[in-house]
A and B are shown apart, each in its own frame.
Chain A
Amino acid sequence: MMNKKEILKLAKGFRGRAKNCIRIARERVEKALQYSYRDRRTKKRDMRSLWIQRVSAGTRQHNVHYGHFMHGLKKENIQLNRKVLSEISMHEPFSFKALVDISREAFPGNRHIYHRPRKVDMSSMDA
């Protein structure tokens, strides 16, 4: 990020004069680089959160909560990480069901599942 040419190259796609005029572009590019430094760290957090959401959705289809599922896996010493678990839950449903079954046996708390009453859409009913 030394000379003007490099800064303007980094400023591609910016709004207004920030992509053309060096004085404004320099500020915006500096800010962009700061954000990228910060967000390389937050990306890891966001990704993990996404994977957990996906695994949770997958296990709830089998009536198992995410926390219980992970507890069961740790008890069984299965060391698959959340990234891979989320991929398996999306594309390999039968392998995922096998994992859920293993976890269910390892963690007895899974047996008592209370199903929340589903909300019914009232708009279709007559007044």
Chain B
Amino acid sequence: MASTSSTLFSLCSSFSAHCKISPTPSLSKPLSFTKPNFASSFKLPQKLAFSSSPSLPQSATVPKVSEIDAPAVAEPAATQIVEVAKEDEPKREEIFAVVMVGGRQYIVIPGRFLYVQRLKGTNVNDKIALNKVLLVGTKTTTYIGKPVVTNAVVHAVVEEQGLNKKVIVFKYKKKKNYRRNIGHRQPNTRVRITGITGFENYPAVTLDSIAKSS
């Protein structure tokens, strides 16, 4: 259990390391950070992308960028590049929600994308509102829905409608000359989460009340 001094979002990075959804690809950085996600192979039937956190190696990227550019460029330019790299990091809202989509539940944070079951009738760049929000958590409070947090909405944008990786369904019966080889690609939709709203008026559990009860 995390120490009492750590907040709900003890590390956006550690959360992202285990969260199965992918982050915003950073705009200007050529470097990509992927953390092998042990749970990604486990979580079924969710299709997962590698989780990488641009927010975590903020300290790590900055020296990398400066190392590459410093020998080639004069020093004032190097400092400029460092600053630009820092500013490019999008400020992420420290909030998460548990949302139910396509019969499955996902932990969702704004700015990340998510593969869900194919949403029929939507097109690319459609704005989507996900209504079944089961839990919302911020740094200081948690809103636990019974079963749903009323009026809470997770806003998302449909990015891409594609297919999952091919799965070979091979059926075989021994000594009976029975072999069937079928390939299967499940349709999915990639959806990017833009924001979580509407949960403020719900009875919440705050950090102080938990600390008191423990």
Contact = CB atoms under 8 A, between A and B. Distances in A.
Interface in B175-196: 179, 181
Interface in A70-105: 76-81, 83-84, 87-88, 90-95, 97-99, 101-102
A43 B44 contact: yes
Contacts, number: 90
B44 to A, nearest CB: 5
B172 A78 contact: no
A44 B134 contact: no
Given A37-B170, A91-B10, A101-B213, A80 B43 contact: no
Given A43-B44, A97-B214, A84 B144 contact: no
Interface string B133-174: 011010000101111000000000000000000011111100
A123 interface: no
Contacts of A40: 167
Contact of A79 (B1, B44, B147, B169): B147
A33 interface: yes
B2 interface: yes
A87 B107 contact: yes
A17 B64 CA distance: 44
B44 A44 contact: yes
A95 B206 CA distance: 9
Interface of A: 1-2, 30, 33-34, 36-37, 40, 43-44, 46-47, 50, 61, 76-81, 83-84, 87-88, 90-95, 97-99, 101-102
Interface of B: 1-2, 8, 10, 14-15, 18-19, 42-45, 96, 98, 100, 105-107, 134-135, 137, 142, 144-147, 167-172, 179, 181, 205, 207, 210, 213-214
